[in-house]
Structure 1
């Protein structure tokens, strides 16, 4: 019997399962991949709680299907979390303009925010930076488990940071673009293949 397949999509900081990429991924899976279940959680703002949330989702899946195959897709901060999960579970992940060592960015992120999708307000504090530092990874145990999609026009992150950390992984680097990754839908089929077919 085939193992059940689950794709877990992790949105970025101050984003939502209603983001364009999350909706595109959902639509593609629902229209074309009847053997794959997609999970797109609304992640908590606090990094430690967000990771606990994802671990709980994985545990639920594994309790139902001990032989389930799980793959992650993560954008920006979701890419950082997807990497942590890839390392923890030894599974594949596709990372879209991922954040690298987010604790180093905390000084520029501290402040008050309103989520553009839900309207909820929240704060980012130095404590979040401390949690991120404690969560950070030093090196990848299996670099081949990752495919990194980068665009040089990313206005939020320096793509060179990801090039360095994921240098032994599969990398697609495009000129121009932006942090949201212009034309993400071009890669949907290839993402599914990478996660589940080899």
Structure 2
């Protein structure tokens, strides 16, 4: 089955302006103009973020949609894939954001516009716990691209979280996956973009 609808989910403190989101959007527009591509700005609340996504993809064909997620977006992508039964691509995915983001409770700035501020509230931790799909078998094929040089997340934890996924584990690299463009053809092929 080919992918006609593609969702991209950015990471914590990130946005649709992230390098990987823009590269994906550009690639899809250039090579697959008939594919519906959506990269929403996710609100800080995990519950609100997934409500926004669920509403946005409500009319999408489940048999021909897919999701890509980076970092916290990878954690969200696993939730979307589980509920939509669609293929997913995780880029340096967050494995336990409820644990890792607890230290970020309070006022935060976004990466792409430091003048933009938001509050990460204590209740968001339990919202993340409610979205955790660990321990459930994948409902559709998964691809995980993991950098051993990730300075934010432990690559072993990421690899261990997705044992059934097709994994690409990079020597070196970084959390931002600066060479993501090199792997777009693989992502394209894996998702069979229409």
TM-score (norm 2): 0.92
From the superposition, tell whether residues 157 and 31 of structure 1 become closer, same or farther in structure 2 (CA, over 3 Å).
same
* Cα deviation digits, residues 21-45 of structure 1 (max 9, x gap): 1110011111111231211111111
Larger helix share, 1 or 2: 1
Alpha-carbon offset, residue 143 of structure 1: 6.7
Matched, 1:161 2:157: yes
Preserved contact between residue 144 and residue 170 of structure 1 (Cα < 8 Å): no
Spell out the pairing of 1:122-137 with structure 2 (5 A cutoff).
Answer: 122-137=118-133
SS at match of 1:185: helix
Match of 1:88 in 2: 83
For structure 2, the 5+ residue unaligned runs are none
From the superposition, tell whether residues 3 and 182 of structure 1 become closer, same or farther in structure 2 (CA, over 3 Å).
closer
Q: Using CA pairs below 8 Å that are at least 6 residues apart, which structure has the higher relative contact order?
A: 2
Preserved contact between residue 8 and residue 72 of structure 1 (Cα < 8 Å): yes
Give the whole-Å Cα distance in 2 for the aligned partners of 1:6 and 1:36: 6
Preserved contact between residue 11 and residue 74 of structure 1 (Cα < 8 Å): yes
Match of 1:18 in 2: 17
Preserved contact between residue 3 and residue 67 of structure 1 (Cα < 8 Å): no
Alpha-carbon offset, residue 165 of structure 1: 1.2
For structure 1, the 5+ residue unaligned runs are none
2:137 to 121, 136, 141: 141
Preserved contact between residue 144 and residue 169 of structure 1 (Cα < 8 Å): no
Match of 1:31 in 2: 30
Alpha-carbon offset, residue 99 of structure 1: 0.2
From the superposition, tell whether residues 160 and 3 of structure 1 become closer, same or farther in structure 2 (CA, over 3 Å).
closer
Matched residue pairs, number? 193
1:97 to 84, 92, 112: 92
TM-score (norm 1): 0.90
Preserved contact between residue 144 and residue 168 of structure 1 (Cα < 8 Å): no
Match of 1:70 in 2: 65
